[in-house]
Amino acid sequence: STAWEKSASEMDKEFQHEFLNTSKTFLHDRLGLAGDQPLLTTKGEELSKSIQETQKKLGLDQVVACPGKDYYRNVSIHADNSLWKLWREHVVPSQLFKKGEDRLMLVGKETFRYDLRGSGKRDSMTLDDVIAIAPYMNRVIYVGDVPDWMVRRLNNTLNTYSTHNLIPDYVLAGSMEAFQTVENYQLYTHEEDLPAIVEKLEKYNFQDFQNSFVGKRDTI
C-alpha cells in the first residue's frame, strides 16, 4: 500500500489531466494563453488551409440554403425548432413526394447526427453541413401500396416503447388524417429501416411488396 501511494504521488507530479471540449475559448483558457495570443499553431493553420482547399475542390463549400434559425434533432417533434418537424413538413413533401398522391414515409430516428445551425454567423448552410447532419444520404425505398389500417398498426407497433418520447423511434411523414380517408398509401422508408418494416408487415399478411429503390436519397 505504501509503495502504491508513493508511486501514485510520483505519478501526480509527472501527469496532469484536464476535461476538454471543442470550444475555442475553453481550449484557449486551459492552455494558459494570453488574451491576444492566437490559438492556432503553424501546423494547425496549414491543416486548416488544406481542409478548406479540399472542401472547395469537392464543392462542399457550396451554399445550399439559408435557414435563418437553428433546428435541433433532440427537441419535441412538434416544436417549431425541431429538425424532424422541418423534415416532415418541408423536406419530404417538396423533395421526395409528388403533390396529390397518398404517400407516407416511415423512418428510424437515427437519421440525423447533428443539429442544423442557421442563426447568427452561421446563417448559410453548405453542402458540407448537409453531409454532417445526415451523413448516410439514405436510399429511399418504395415498400408498396399498404392498406390504411396496416400503416396505422405498423406505426403504433414500431413505436410501442416510445409513445411518450420527444421523438418516436420511427418517424412518420406525410398527410395521414386521424381517421381513414383512403384505402391504401404508397409507403416509403430508408433502405436500412426496410427489414424491420417488412418483418412487421409480413405478420399482418401483407404480400404486395415492391421494395424498390426510387432513385432518390433522403437528406435535409
**Separation between Cα atoms, residue 3 and residue 169, nearest integer Å:** 53
Distance CA 88, CA 42 (A): 45
User: How high does pLDDT run on average in the chain?
Assistant: 86
Q: How far apart are CA 64 and CA 14, in angstroms?
A: 50
Sign of the dihedral defined by the CA atoms of residues 118, 121, 124, 125, in that order: negative
pTM surpassing 0.85?
A: no
The shares of helix, strand and coil residues in the chain, as percent rounded to the nearest 5, are: 40, 20, 40
Per-residue CA distances from 215 to 16, 20, 36, 68, 96 (Å): 54, 43, 52, 30, 10
Residue 9: predicted pLDDT: 65
Residue 97 DSSP one-character state: -
Q: For residue 21, give the C-alpha cell.
A: 471540449
pLDDT at residue 127 in the model = 87
CA–CA distances in Å: residue 61 to residues 90, 187, 188, 208: 23, 34, 31, 43
- Nearest alpha-carbon partner for 151 in 212, 117, 190, 103: 103
Give the pLDDT confidence score for residue 194 in this predicted structure.
Answer: 97
Residue segments in the chain with a per-residue pLDDT below the cut of 70? 1-14, 100, 119-123
Distance of alpha carbon 119 from alpha carbon 103, whole angstroms: 32
pLDDT at 130: 86
Task: Return all residues near 15 (Cβ < 8 A) that are at least 6 apart.
Answer: none
The candidate with the shortest Cα–Cα distance to 113, out of 82, 135, 84, 140, is 135
